Amino acid sequence: MHKGVFLVNTKNLHRVKDDDVEMRIDWGIVFCILVLAVIGMVSLYVALKHGTSTVSISRTVISQLIWYTLGAIMVAIIMQFDAEQLWKIAPLAYGIGITLLILVLFFYSRSYAANTGAKSWFALGPFTFQPSEVMKPAFILMLGRVVTQHNSEYEHSWESDWLLIGKMLAWTAPIAILLKLQNDFGTMLVFIAILGGVILMSGITWKIIVPGFAGASIIGGLAIFLVVYDRTLLEKIGFATYQFKRIDSWLNPAGSTSGDSYQLWQSMKAIGSGQLLGKGFNVSNVYVPVRESDMIFSVIGENFGFIGSCLLIFIYLLLIFQMIQVTFDTKNEFYAYISTGVIMMILFHVFENIGMNIGLLPLTGIPLPFVSQGGSALLGNMLGIGFIMSMRYHYKSYMFSNNEIEFR
C-alpha cells in the first residue's frame, strides 16, 4: 500500500460543525504564549531602559511586537495543515532549511560574525535572520516522518533499531556539519536535544539507549576533565579559545569577574539582588551585558525576585503539560514524534538559558523561548507551537466513538 497515507476509521464518525472553531483551538496553549509574550515585552523594555545600547527602545519593542504578530500569523497558517499535509511537506521544509544553512556560509553578516564569532546570520539593513532557528521545526518534521515510516515497515529488533538510528543520524549529519562550519555549537546542542528526545520515544530498545546515553555522559564528563587538566586533545579536534573561556567561567565564575566571567557574574549578582520578591518593575541597579536577549532571565530575577522567576518557570511547565496532553489526546504516531521534538526544543532552551543565567550551565547563547529579544528564534518556536495547535485543531474537527488512526 502507498506509503504516507493516513487512514481514519470512519465507523461512528461525526463531523463537528465547521463554525465550532473555538472548540478546535487549544486555548490553554494560547494563554501560556500570551503570558510569556507579555513577560517578554516587559522584560525587554526594562533591559533596554537600563542597558547601554544606543538603539531606540520604542523601535526595538515595536519590532519585537511585529515578530510576535508574524509568529501568530504563522501559527494560524500551520494550523490549517493536517497530519497528511505535514507529512508531505516535511522533505521540502528540510530541503529549504539546508539550503538556507548553506547560503548563510557565503552571505553571512560580517559585523555579526566579528561580534559573535559565528557565521550564522543573514543581514539586510536593520533586518537580521538566523536560518538555523527555522531549521529546527523543519528537522522535527523530518525526524517524525523518518521514524514513523521506519516503524511502519519494520518490527523492532536489534538490527532494525540500529538501522533507525542510522537513518536519524544521516538526516542530522548535514545540519551538524553546516553548524560546525558556522561555528555555532550552542545551536547544535538544541538539535542534539531534539534528536535525543525522538530516539527515546521511537521505540528503540533500552539495550541500545541506555549504553548510548551512558557513553554520551562519559564523553561529556571526559571533555570537562580535559578542559581542566589537558586541553591539547580538545584543541586538536576543533575546540575554540572562547569555548574554553566559557567553561572556565562556568567552573569558576568568581575567578575573573572583570574579565571572562563578567557577564555570568553580573547576571548572578542581578538575580541574587532580587531576593524573594524582587526590587519592583523597572528597577535595575546591576548592569548585565546582552541583557535583552541571552541574559533576559536576570531582568526577571532582579525585578520580580524568586517568586516571579518561579512563576515564569511554572508557565513553561504549564505550556509543556498542555502540549503533552494534546499528544495523548490525538493518538497519532507521527504527531507524537513532532510534539516530542517541539517539547524537547522548548525544554532545552528553557533549561539551558535559565541554567546559564544562574551559573548552573556554561554560557552558550541560547535565548529564552517567547521572552528573549530575537525574531528568528521567536519565529522558530512559534512554528513549533503551530504544529501542536494543528494537532488539536484537526483532532477536534471530528468526534470519535471508535477512535482509530492508522498510518500506512
Domain range for 199 is 19-407
Which pLDDT tens digit goes with each residue over 342-382? 999 999 999 999 999 999 988 888 999 999 998 899 999 99
User: Which pLDDT value is given to residue 86?
Assistant: 94
In the predicted model, what is the mean pLDDT of the chain?
86
Give the cell for residue 407. 498510518
Q: Report if residue 376 sits inside a domain.
A: yes
The alpha carbon of 201 is separated from its chain's Cα centroid by a whole number of angstroms, namely 18
- 63 Cβ neighbours under 8 A, 6+ residues apart: 375
Amino acid at 41: M
Q: Report if residue 217 sits inside a domain.
A: yes
Q: Are 64 and 313 in contact (CB under 8 A)?
A: no
Q: Report if residue 4 sits inside a domain.
A: no
Q: Report if residue 285 sits inside a domain.
A: yes
Q: Report if residue 13 sits inside a domain.
A: no
Q: How many domains does the chain have?
A: 1
pLDDT above 50: residue 248: yes
Distance CA 6, CA 84 (A): 6
Strongest mean pLDDT among 83-87, 118-122, 222-226, 345-349: 345-349
Q: Are 43 and 299 in contact (CB under 8 A)?
A: yes
Which pLDDT tens digit goes with each residue over 94-142? 999 999 999 999 988 888 787 777 888 888 777 788 999 999 999 999 9
Give the cell for residue 329. 489526546
pTM of the model: 0.88
Q: Report if residue 243 sits inside a domain.
A: yes
